[in-house]
Amino acid sequence: MSSLKSRFLLRIISTSVFILVSLVIAYGQQDADPNSPTPVILSENDSTRALSSVAAKPKSRTASRAFLPGQRAEIFVTNISFMDGEGANSVRVYIEDAVGHEYRFPVIDVRPSEFQRGVYNVVFEMTDELRYWIEPPTQGDVLVRLTWRGLSSNRVRLAYGSSGGTIKDDPGAVPTPFASVGKNNSPTAELVGYKWSGDRMRFLEQATFGPTQSLDSRIRRIGLRTWLAEQFEMSYPSVSNPYPNIPLKSTDSQAAPPNGCGPQPNPNTPEYQLCIRDHYQMYPIQTWFYKEALYGEPQLHHRVSWALSQIWVISGVDTQQSSWMIEYHQQLSKNAFGNWRTLMSDMTLNPGMGNYLDMIRSTRTNPNENYPREVLQLFNIGLFMLNQDGTVQVDGQNNPIPTYDQNTINNFTKVFTGWRDCRVADLNANCPDSVAGLPDYKDPMSLNTGQHDLTAKTLLIYPGVTNQNVPACTGCTAAQIYTYAYNSLNQALDNIYNHPNVAPFVSKLLIQQMVTSDPTPAYVGRVSAVFNANRNNPAQMKEVVRAILLDPEARGDVKSDPRYGKLREPVQLMTNIYRNFNVSDAAGTGRSDGDINRFPSGQGQNAFIAPTVFNYYPPNFIVPGTTLLAPEFGIFTTGTAIGRANIGNSLAFGQINVALPNTPSGTKINIGDLQALAAGDTTSNQLLDHLNTRMMHGTMSPQMKTTLMTAVNAVASTNPLARAQTAVYLIATSSQFQVQR
């Protein structure tokens, strides 16, 4: 009996130990607290005037000193904690003058204070860094703030030119003297929900086409890093949603079937319209894309591929057939987690790209510079030399240093001559998808040896370059020309890839696409370093994407810097709402057919039909009348602003009904759970609290909640569905939701 008890006791102990070990392992897999502290600018003991000094005299902490334009000022900041290598390029200083204009002043230095531990001296120049405003700041007291990792400090007074004036302190502003050092000054603690819930939802907005409750629950269990590891290894696209397999057709849609859709005296016949839709329009890839965005499991792969498609742009404006665009996207997505240099090669020889930027028609007697220009300017290095943190290098006269000139373009143009859609007759051509009599826009382009330029070329010249000279091919045979052309192509792409601009240029573009429109140089520099450290890694982009999403500037429950984040582009505005509310077909029993492009296309983002090679919006777009770098606002107009509200209205109150043949299933959101909340609590508190977590990751202000509650409760409590719809609509169309933060 005692032996049985002992074995029973041993089993309990063993089980307990196993559970304990499992919990420890599980806890170890969870992510660390993502929240950075909120910086605090120190002030005088009894006022909101910044404690400051002239930078040349660091021991002079004169309280009310007026700083002259161009002079260097020094303020004191606490509640920040730098990583190794983090410093001046991780913080920004903004001032607002009495007429409401905001200026960014260049930060020169950040260093630990000699007066007190936990305090940093921040030195900046009283000069408009962005040089947007023609007039200088209005002299007198200004309000100064500091931002770091997407967090904004308090605003304190600083005298610019002279002290005094009409500017008022922010409501609730209080002195923050040295005595406050070391205290928790974070104003955002009250906004944090269950353990790091805000950060998870923000992460899902950055890494997917929208959060879902099931994804949030999964990441809560396994953590961000484990989810990323799963996503990196997941097959793409989803097994249930393979790429459409659209055969090649004649470039003449009127050609007789099967090569074309046939001459039609009556183009309104259903057969002809379906043939045109499926072969000569972007409908197949658009509906495939949206189904993958709404339901696909490899969300991160799909999200990164969409980001890359807005960098390496081709467009249905000139890309005639859906099969061409599908093959382009397959090559692009194949490299989304691969190596950037491999992506460069595959994109260069993709016939869809060759058609869009004319490389497919560029010959030694009629060279075309479109692709050579864009592969440099838009896809890889940009117009000006960059530091590794993405800041522009300038010469002795403070002018940006160009990366190349027209002569460089001319030389690259010669390298890219003679390539055309794959022809079996070409030397060593491998064209498995070619069809006799049809252009082959599926296989990589092949070389017409008689049309390749054989003269010497000089490529990009930059510090450390070793492969800038391509020799001539004199007296070469066809076989020698073939080898020469491919070697020259690889040398040219290597020459571009090894340019020091590539890492910061690409890193900033991807950060803009996924996280925030105006990242600090420190953020760009950290990602750029990962890009460079993995130059020979076949999984280079996995590390880059991981670095972007896990960076401290990306992570955290709340970002209080008013300039942080990005306007939700129309595609993601729509998919975020759909995914958040259990998108289904019109009947509510199955899946959407993906025919939902009508919404973003009306807002300037017609999927796969970008208006130009510059994408839907330029990455350096500044909002007119401001100094705000915000690319997506490039397609934000009076008309599209109304249209964005209409998207919210259509999704919240309506649905896309079945309309054959293009819309066989329809699409709608499902908010039965919200309807139940509205019915169970007629005050609307529970409904709005739930939507605060679900749609706004806990950042809804008391004022916003009060306003929403008034509007929602104006709807009769006997109609809980209308209350739920109203709440979703009002939040989805609010400025707080329209900007992904």
pLDDT of 431-463, one tens digit each? 999 999 999 999 999 999 999 999 999 999 999
pLDDT at 36 over 60: yes
| Mean pLDDT on 16-38 | 53
Model pLDDT for residues 353-390, shown as the tens digit of each residue: 999 999 999 999 999 999 999 999 999 999 999 999 99
Other CB atoms closer than 10 Å to residue 721's CB: what's the count? Answer: 15
Peptide bond into 237 cis (omega under 30): yes
Question: What is the b/e burial string over 125-148, where b = at least 16 CB atoms within 10 angstroms of the residue's CB?
Answer: bbbbbeeeeeebbbbbbbbbbbbb
DSSP-derived secondary structure for 333-374: HHTTTS-HHHHHHHHHT-HHHHHHTSGGG--SSS---HHHHH
| Mean pLDDT on 467-477 | 97
| Mean pLDDT on 166-176 | 95
pLDDT at 9 over 60: no
DSSP β-bridge partners for residue 109: 123
DSSP β-bridge partners for residue 469: 458
Model pLDDT for residues 574-594, shown as the tens digit of each residue: 999 999 999 999 999 999 999
pLDDT value at residue 189: 43
Collapsing DSSP to helix, strand or coil, 120 comes out as: strand
Model pLDDT for residues 419-432, shown as the tens digit of each residue: 999 999 999 999 99
Closest CA relative to residue 620, chosen from 101, 91, 124, 130: 130
Q: What span, in angstroms and rounded, lies between the C-alpha atoms of 629 and 108? A: 21
Q: What's the half-sphere exposure (Cβ side, CA atoms, 13 Å) at 65?
A: 20
Q: What is 40-183's CATH topology?
A: Immunoglobulin-like (2.60.40)
- Which two tokens mark 711? 């509007």
pLDDT value at residue 130: 81
| Mean pLDDT on 517-526 | 98
Model pLDDT for residues 664-673, shown as the tens digit of each residue: 999 999 999 9
Q: What span, in angstroms and rounded, lies between the C-alpha atoms of 185 and 350? A: 54
Q: What is the DSSP letter of 616?
A: S
pLDDT value at residue 19: 31
| Mean pLDDT on 101-128 | 92
C-alpha torsion angle, residues 691, 696, 701, 703 (rounded to 10): -60
Handedness of CA 289, 294, 299, 300 (dihedral sign): positive
| Mean pLDDT on 337-354 | 98
C-alpha torsion angle, residues 479, 480, 483, 484 (rounded to 10): -140
pLDDT value at residue 260: 96
pLDDT value at residue 494: 98
Q: For 234-367, where are the alpha helices, taking DSSP H only?
A: 270-280, 283-295, 299-309, 322-334, 340-348, 351-356
Closest CA relative to residue 67, chosen from 144, 159, 164: 159
pLDDT value at residue 194: 63
pLDDT at 8 over 50: no
Q: Using a pLDDT cut of 90, give the percent of the chain over it.
A: 87
Site of tokens 């859709």 = 261
- Tell me which amino acid residue 611 is: P
With 0-12 / 13-18 / 19 or more C-beta atoms within 10 angstroms meaning exposed / middle / buried, residue 573 is buried
Domain ranges of the chain: 2-30, 40-183, 234-356, 357-500, 503-550, 566-740
pLDDT at 480 over 60: yes
Q: Using a pLDDT cut of 70, give the percent of the chain over it.
A: 92
DSSP-derived secondary structure for 128-168: -SS---SSPPPSEEEEEEEEETTEE---EEEEESBS--S--
pLDDT bin (cut points 50, 70, 90) of residue 193 is low
Q: Report whether 540 contacts 534 (CB < 8 A).
A: yes
Q: What span, in angstroms and rounded, lies between the C-alpha atoms of 538 and 529? A: 16
- Which two tokens mark 326? 């599908």
Model pLDDT for residues 60-83, shown as the tens digit of each residue: 444 457 899 999 999 999 999 999
Question: How high is the mean pLDDT of the chain?
Answer: 92
